[in-house]
Structure 1
Amino acid sequence: MSKILAFAGSGRKHSYNFAAVKKAAEGATQAGCDVTVVDMSEYADIPIFTEDLEAEHGMPEKAKALKELLKSHDAFLIASPEYNSGYSALFKNAIDWASRKEEGEKPLEAFKGKFAALIAASPGGLGGIRVLVPVRLLLSNIGVNVLGDQLAISNVGNLVNDEHQISDEVTVKKLHNIGKQLASMLK
Structure 2
Amino acid sequence: MPKILAFSGSIRRDSWNRKLIRVAVDATRAAGGDVTLIDLADYPLPLYNGDLEERDGLPDNAQRLKALFKEHDALLIASPEYNSSMPPLLKNTLDWVSREWQGESGLVPYQNKVAAILAATPGTFGGMRMLPHLRQVLNTLGVLVLPGQFSLAHADTAFDPENGALKSPARLHALVVDLVRTTTALARAADQP
TM beyond 0.5: yes
How far does the alpha carbon of each residue in 1:60-107 deviate from its partner, in whole angstroms, 9 at most, with x for none?
A: 111211121111110001111000001011001101110011125244
Given residue 180 of structure 1, which amino acid in structure 2 is its aligned partner?
Answer: V
Match status 1:114 vs 2:113: yes
Q: How many residues align?
A: 184
Change (3 A) 1:102 1:80: same
Q: CA deviation at 1:35?
A: 0.3
Q: Using CA pairs below 8 Å that are at least 6 residues apart, which structure has the higher relative contact order?
A: 1
Q: Secondary structure at the match of 1:129?
A: coil
Q: Secondary structure at the match of 1:149?
A: coil
Asked whether the 8 Å contact 2:127–2:151 carries over to 1, the reply is: yes
Asked whether the 8 Å contact 2:99–2:105 carries over to 1, the reply is: no
Instruction: Look up the match of 1:38.
Output: 38
Q: RMSD across aligned C-alpha pairs, in angstroms?
A: 1.5
Instruction: Look up the match of 2:180.
Output: 183
Instruction: Look up the match of 1:151.
Output: 150
For structure 1, which segment, 11-20 or 119-128, has the greater mean C-alpha deviation from structure 2 after superposition?
Answer: 11-20
Instruction: Look up the match of 1:22.
Output: 22
Percent pairwise identity:
40
Following TM superposition, where does structure 1 have runs of at least 4 consecutive aligned residues deviating by more than 6 angstroms?
A: none
TM-score for both structures, normalised by structure 1 = 0.92
Structure 2 residue runs without a partner (length 5+):
185-193
Asked whether the 8 Å contact 2:23–2:166 carries over to 1, the reply is: no
Structure 1 residue runs without a partner (length 5+):
none
